[in-house]
Amino acid sequence: MAFPRMHLEPEHEMFRDSVRRYLKEELSGDVERWREQGHVDREAFRKFGEQGWLCLWAEEEYGGIGVRDIRYDQILQEESVRWTDIGFFHNAHSMLVGPYLDRFANPAQKARFLPGVVSGDVIMGIAMTEPDTGSDLAAIRTRAESKGDHWLLNGAKTYISNGIIGDLFVVAAKTGEGRGQIGLFVVTSDMEGFSRGRHLKKMGLPVQDTAELRFDNIRVPAENLLGDPGKGFAYMTECLAVERTMSAISSMAHAQTAFDLTLEFVKERRAFGRPIGAFQNTRFVMADLRTRLDAVQSYLDQCVMLANEDKLSPEDAASLKLLSSELQGDVVDAGVQMHGGAGFMDEYPISRMFRDARIARIYAGTSEIMKEIIGRGLGLGERELR
C-alpha cells in the first residue's frame, strides 16, 4: 500500500475522482488508435479545454479559471498517465509552454493567444532544441534579426513535442552575438516560411508526435516577441524548475502504474505450483521498489508545494528529475523481468511502458546534466574550484 500523501486536500481528491471518471469513460478507448496514427486527436485537447483543464492558471478574462495550484496539474497528469497514455502531452501545452505566456506575455499578447490555448483549439509546443545543440541552449543557431516592425526568423529545430499537431510555438532564437543573447518569439503554423519536417519515428512514446520545424525568412511581428529580446536564456532558466517538476510527475505516475501492473501479475501468474509473488526474490524486489516509490513520491509532493510558492531551487528540481526518471527506468525494467516472456510482448502494457520510459532520462535535461547542476550547487563547479 502506498504511503499517504499529506499534501493533498479533500478538494484535490474530489477533483481526482472526476478526472479519473471522465478519462476512463471518454478518452481511454482512443489510446490504441492514437498509438497507431502517431499522435493524439486534436479533439482530445478540445475535450480537456471543455472541462477547463488546460492552462488552469489562466485568468477568467482569457477563458481560464485562474487556479494557480500545481497540485491540480499533478492530479491531471497522474490520472492521464494511468488511464490514457504518457504521450498525451497536455501537460507540455499547459505547464511547459504555458508558463512562458503566463510570465512574459503582456496583456495584449495574452488577449490574442490565451483564449484559443485555453479552449484547446490552439495546441502549443516549445522549439528550443536544434540538430547540433541539445542541453547547451546558449549555442543555438536559429537567428532573429530586428527589422523594426518585425523580426526576420531563420533556422531549424528538432525533437519538438506536439510538432505535428501544434499551432503555436514559443521559439528560441539568437538576437545578438553573446552566447546568452536569445529572444523568445511566438510563431504560429500559418506564418509564411513556417514548415514542418519529418514526423520523427522513436523508440517509444508513439502517441507523442515529435517533429522537425523549419523557419525560412519568417516575418514575425514585433508584437510576437515575449519580453526582452536579450533575456530569453534567463526566461528559459526561470521556467526550468517547473518543467522538471512536471517531468518528474510523469515519471512517478508511469512508475507507479508499472508497479501496480506488475504486482497484479505476480500475484496471479504461477510457477512451480505457486504464485510468482511467493518467491523470496520477487518479494524483495517489489519491497525495494515500493520503498523507493514512496520516498521519491514524498520528495516530489514536497517539491510541488515549493513550486507552488515559486521557491523550488534549480538544484532541488534537478535532484527530483534525476531521482524520478532513474526510478521510473528501474521500475519498468523490473516489471518486464517479473513478467518473464510476456513482458517482451506488445500485448502486455509493461512492454510498451518499458520503451516509453527510456526518454525520461534524456528530455528536460539528461541525468548527467542534472548531476552537473547538483554538483555545482555544492560548490564543485570548475569556476568555484579554480
| pLDDT of amino acid 134 | 64
What is the four-CA torsion angle of 150, 154, 158, 164, rounded to 10 degrees?
Answer: 50
| pLDDT of amino acid 267 | 95
| pLDDT of amino acid 385 | 57
* Start-end of CATH 1.10.540.10 domains in the chain: 10-122
**pTM reported for the whole predicted model:** 0.94
| Cβ count within 10 A of residue 165 | 18
The C-alpha atoms of residue 49 and residue 42 are separated, in whole angstroms, by: 11
The C-alpha atoms of residue 96 and residue 247 are separated, in whole angstroms, by: 9
* Start-end of CATH 2.40.110.10 domains in the chain: 125-232
| pLDDT of amino acid 381 | 76
Whether 100 contacts 231, CB under 8 Å: no
| pLDDT of amino acid 139 | 79
User: For 10-122, CATH number?
Assistant: 1.10.540.10
Say which of 60, 243, 309, 315 is annotated catalytic: 243
* Start-end of CATH 1.20.140.10 domains in the chain: 234-377
Residue segments in the chain with a per-residue pLDDT below the cut of 50: none
The beta strand positions in 229-354, using DSSP E, are 270-271, 274-275
- Residue 285 is given by DSSP the state H
| pLDDT of amino acid 178 | 76
The C-alpha atoms of residue 127 and residue 150 are separated, in whole angstroms, by: 19
| pLDDT of amino acid 135 | 65
| pLDDT of amino acid 24 | 97
| pLDDT of amino acid 384 | 61
CATH top-level class of 125-232: mainly beta
| pLDDT of amino acid 103 | 97
CATH top-level class of 234-377: mainly alpha
26 is catalytic: no
| Cβ count within 10 A of residue 304 | 23
The C-alpha atoms of residue 194 and residue 188 are separated, in whole angstroms, by: 8
The C-alpha atoms of residue 215 and residue 157 are separated, in whole angstroms, by: 9
